Structure 1
Amino acid sequence: MARAAVEFVPDEHGGVTVMRDGHPQSHVDPEDPGHLVFEYVQHMAAAIDATFPAPDPIGVTHVGGAGLTLPRWVHETRPGSPQIVLEPDEGLTAAVREHLPLPRGHRIRVRPQLGRAGVAVLKDASAHAVLVDAFDDGRVPADLQSAEFFVDVARVLRTDGILVMNSPDEPGWRHLADVVAGAREAFSPNASLALIAMRDVVKARRYGNTTLVVSRRQIDLDEVRRQVGRWPFPSGVLGGKELSRRTAGGKPLTDAAPRPSPAAPDPGAWRVR
């Protein structure tokens, strides 16, 4: 995408919203990388904090880069962490580097690759965490939600690693149920899963982002809740039998029968139920 489609909108608190084609992609605070504004970004950070306490470095692969908010946060909280960012939009990355330079001493490497192809060439057991936050025309691409993709992510993760994924859905979670089924099958029937979302999304009152966390090791739900509680948005955490009940009936999506995530409704045409 051309640089002309990328805008940087400052706010009164010193932060900058990165806009692409008129849609907010990221919020970056150059002076305080720990200042995370978007609720689902806070949820993804909470999942990392609950699993890998700071300040020990961790290897992280990011599928989707935009303003590089979470790579900056990982560098700030865990200096020396080697990070790979898979971001195919070279124009966006160049604009971000120019307007919002990365901090000195970082180990963030941005590769101009699509997420699926980029993950495919990563080494086995090379990452503590894979963070998926990628959109195409407002929807998570179908090839980043298939069972085959999750198998590849499981290969790339260490045995104690976690997948953290932004997976939006409508009330009813029919799409999310299929995503959960595919992730569970790929990691193993005994995989541990958790889901974080704002309370009105958990209560199925509206479309919204959910953060799906998947691991082959047991996720400490109490610690996830404690970390989520450190952030200001009223949010809920589901896991175990409750998450299984809420996503029952899901069938893994596949490369042969793919489906992107549901599009967000027109903000002027929907309301909280």
Structure 2
Amino acid sequence: MNTNLTDPELLVEYAPPLPPAAEVEPLRAIVEDMSFFYADGTQALKNINMPILDRQITSMIGPSGCGKSTLLRCFNRMHDLYPGNRYSGKISLFPDGQNLVGSGTDPVMVRLRIGMVFQKPNPFPKSIYENVAAGLRVRGVNNRKVIDEAVEVALRRAAIWDEVKDRLHRSAYDMSGGQQQRLCIARALAPNPEILLLDEPTSALDPIATSKIEDLLAELGREITIVIVTHNMQQAARISSRTAFMYLGQLIEFGPTDQVFSRPAHPQTEQYITGRYG
């Protein structure tokens, strides 16, 4: 057998089964035999099996280009924005068991059930209020009182209400970077999603803003299922209960965060965590 642990051929031999956590923990979603192909035929994900545990934070770690963000964007069908991309396998969302990547599933409705926050804060060129109300309007909510209440609740959940309550109708571009990212979290929370996805949400922020976002996520993780992609292993260790390590489009290891970081089951994981490659 090839003994070079960073050789892609070794990874082809390793196909982890669905982790046992799925058998004992309540699930919000489950990824089964998930593969993804870009329009040119390139396979970016290879037979991923992973549970997403209810009201817990799951971190996905791994070197750049390993498929973390690609997998994250499967959950809310972001890849559909580019013609020719193709999914294989299933992502089932509970309790109804709907296949999020099924051909008969409406991507717009998926994005209302699965909220997403990106690496760089991306507020709309609108007021703070209208940013948060956007998802509600897509859902067809037009009652001003209902929207007012939902906007306040979302901003409170994102721990930014006290900072913006007196300037709701000012441009979101007047906010600091950290505030804009919390606004984007509030915008994602307003339609009351079942899962919140975050793709490197603090990589563009300073340490103080990063700390505020992490504190916010730890609080939100008690009431909503969160999946976060991060290059910051200390961040994954601080905020997540489960961690998935990916490499070259494959899931190498999944388990309780403390176990993955202190007692990794696969040598590839240990190599990455100890800094032998990145």
* Bin of the TM-score, shorter chain as denominator length: 0.3 to 0.5
Q: TM-score normalised to the size of structure 2?
A: 0.32
* Structure with greater Cα Rg: 2
Give the structure, 1 or 2, with the largest relative contact order (CA under 8 Å, sep 6 or more).
2
Q: TM-score normalised to the size of structure 1?
A: 0.33
